[in-house]
Amino acid sequence: MPCKDLGNLPILLVDDEAQLLHSASLVLRSAGFAQVLTLDDSRAVLTLLANRPVGVIVLDLTMPHLSGKALLEQITAEYPEIPVIMMTATNDLQTAVLCMRSGASDYLLKPVEQSCLVAAVRRAVEGRVLRAEFLSLKDRLLTNSPHEPGGFADIVTQSPAMFAIFRYIEAIAASPQPVLITGETGAGKELIARALHRASGRPGDLVAVNVAGLDDTLFSDTLFGHAKGSFTGAERARDGLLASTGEGTLFLDEIGDLSIASQVKLLRLLQDGSFYPIGADRPRQSRARIVVATHCDVRRQVELGTFRKDLYFRLRTHHIQLPPLRERREDLPQLTLHFVEKAADSLGKPAPSVPPALFQWLHNYAFPGNIRELEGMAFDAVARSQGAVLSLQSFKEAIADQAPINADGDVMDGMTALSGNFPECLPTLKEAEESLIAEALQRAQGNQGVAAGLLGISRQALNKRLIRRDAENF
Ligand SMILES: Nc1ncnc2c1ncn2[C@@H]1O[C@H](COP(=O)(O)OP(=O)(O)OP(=O)(O)O)[C@@H](O)[C@H]1O
């Protein structure tokens, strides 16, 4: 069975007390477990398991005919993947240890508090899904099997790092747990969130909310809604976006900007799926999957005390770190052509051809705005192009102001870049000029137009310097 369905399997309650079965079943249903099965005869359990899949079993220890302990041993031998939670009226450490040794996943003392029952069942379901995902992930990583390309069709890439992310997404797609997507601005975090939602096969849509700039009241109202009359102007009740997300995916962008008060509410939502519309006395339940994204260094924010540690660890149950564009330069040609075609299409023009020299220019640019910046440049260039060949003016303008990058891909200012080449003593002006020209020509793979652009001079000016240099060296 695919891991994505494991979280929806029925919960089986087994106890010879009919009243307990009834009340526990009600508690679990109202906590959001859609299917709860009950059996008051332990002898019927194995037959039921042989005929239908079950997610988690809650088993009483002391029952007539076949004791919970004997049944536990049979279940763990035949169905080791099903977590079994034992319930017992005896507060006896030795019994608890014996049950855990026989394979029980948890141990509850009767009378069981409602919240403890719900928490234990939720833990067991999550544990089972995570174990299945882990095995699936391990399998994929070990076999390096290719990802299913269909769901990622709108992500243009040929980068091995991105393919590894696609495989990870497939492995975690079915998990109900939250996902944290980090990466620089414009690197494609929202696109990845959408691919994750598609891969999850969840019913419903992905609902995206940018939480930057939302104060706590606006955050609560937007997500959780409000009850009628809860504040001045609340003439009608309003369902928030969480309710309209249903079982789909709620994508919270710019999560690093969330206020501390809203962080507490988000944590509660992640812990037990509950939330309070503004002015409501009773919590509501959500089955949406929460995916968040940020360009901030959240770990640093945790150190500074501006982001809750418990929320951070909860959010990063699954974590996708998107590499910036300058660390996947192999994608530049394909992405450029893709955006040129897209721009031409939306502007109703035939797509101009792209001069190969452009790729040399782009190769040396750091792209602080990542793919969004490349997309913008391509659109501007197509709009400016009059003939059959793409105008390079937009690219030149952006790249002329560029910050250089070192071998590790880190952005440097021009002075740092230059002094890094002459650590011991300063070169003469002539030596510096020659060295810069040689470096630019090498980066431009001999193309003088591109090299001149990198040096911020015209092609004619570079040509003059080269002629002078050759004459001097003759
Ligand atoms: N690999 C890709 N292939 C095609 N288009 C892409 C790719 N990555 C990003 N884009 C496009 O680049 C733009 C920016 O992407 P997106 O909005 O997903 O970035 P982001 O990381 O969420 O940005 P921000 O941090 O500002 O929220 C979008 O128009 C998106 O469609």
- What pLDDT was estimated at residue 45? 95
Whether residue 109 is predicted with pLDDT greater than 50 in this model: the reply is: yes
Q: Say if pTM beats, i.e. exceeds, 0.80.
A: no
Ligand 1 atom closest to Cα of residue 185 = 25
Ligand 1 atom closest to Cα of residue 253 = 27
**Which residue is closest in CA terms to ligand 1's atom 9?**
188
Return d(Cα 44, Cα 229) in angstroms, integer: 52
Whole-number Å distance, alpha carbon 240 to ligand 1 midpoint, is 26
Whole-number Å distance, alpha carbon 186 to ligand 1 midpoint, is 5
Which of 148-152, 189-193, 428-432: highest mean pLDDT?
189-193
Decide which of 3.40.30.10, 1.10.8.60, 2.70.170.10, 2.60.34.10 is the CATH code for 327-473: 1.10.8.60
Decide which of 3.40.50.2300, 3.90.1150.180, 3.40.50.300, 3.40.50.720 is the CATH code for 3-135: 3.40.50.2300
Is the ipTM reported for this complex over the cut 0.85? yes
Q: What is the DSSP string of 342-353?
A: HHHHHHT-PPPB
**Average pLDDT for 222-239:** 87
- What pLDDT was estimated at residue 231? 81
Computed over every residue of the chain, the mean pLDDT equals 86
Decide which of 3.10.129.10, 3.40.50.970, 1.10.10.10, 3.40.50.300 is the CATH code for 146-323: 3.40.50.300
> pLDDT tens-digit profile of 3-57?
556 678 999 999 999 999 999 999 999 998 989 999 999 999 999 999 999 999 9
Can you say whether residue 246 is alpha, beta or left, with left for phi > 0 and alpha for psi between -120 and 50 degrees?
A: left
Return d(Cα 322, Cα 157) in angstroms, integer: 12
**What are the residue ranges of CATH 3.40.50.300 in the chain?**
146-323
pLDDT band with cut points at 50, 70 and 90 for residue 308: very high
* Closest among 401, 412, 405, 406 to 373, alpha carbons compared: 401
Which of 64-73, 310-319, 408-417: highest mean pLDDT?
310-319
Taken as a whole, the chain contains a residue count of 474
**What are the residue ranges of CATH 3.40.50.2300 in the chain?**
3-135
pLDDT band with cut points at 50, 70 and 90 for residue 296: very high
Q: What is the DSSP string of 184-243?
A: -TTSSHHHHHHHHHHHHT-SS-EEEEE-TT--HHHHHHHHHEE-TTSSTT--S-EE-HHH
> For 176, what's the count of Cα atoms within 13 Å in the CB-facing half-sphere?
21
Ligand 1 atom closest to Cα of residue 295 = 25
List, in sequence order, every residue forming a beta bridge with 294; answer none if it has no partner. Answer: 182
Whole-number Å distance, alpha carbon 150 to ligand 1 midpoint, is 18
Share of the chain above pLDDT 90, in %: 55
**Which residue is closest in CA terms to ligand 1's atom 8?**
188
**Average pLDDT for 320-341:** 94
**What are the residue ranges of CATH 1.10.8.60 in the chain?**
327-473
Q: Which of 371, 374, 375, 379 to mutate to test the pocket of ligand 1 (most atoms within 8 A of CB)?
A: 371
Whether residue 204 is predicted with pLDDT greater than 80 in this model: the reply is: yes
pLDDT band with cut points at 50, 70 and 90 for residue 421: low
Ligand 1 atom closest to Cα of residue 157 = 1
**Average pLDDT for 97-111:** 87
- What pLDDT was estimated at residue 374? 94
Whether residue 259 is predicted with pLDDT greater than 50 in this model: the reply is: yes
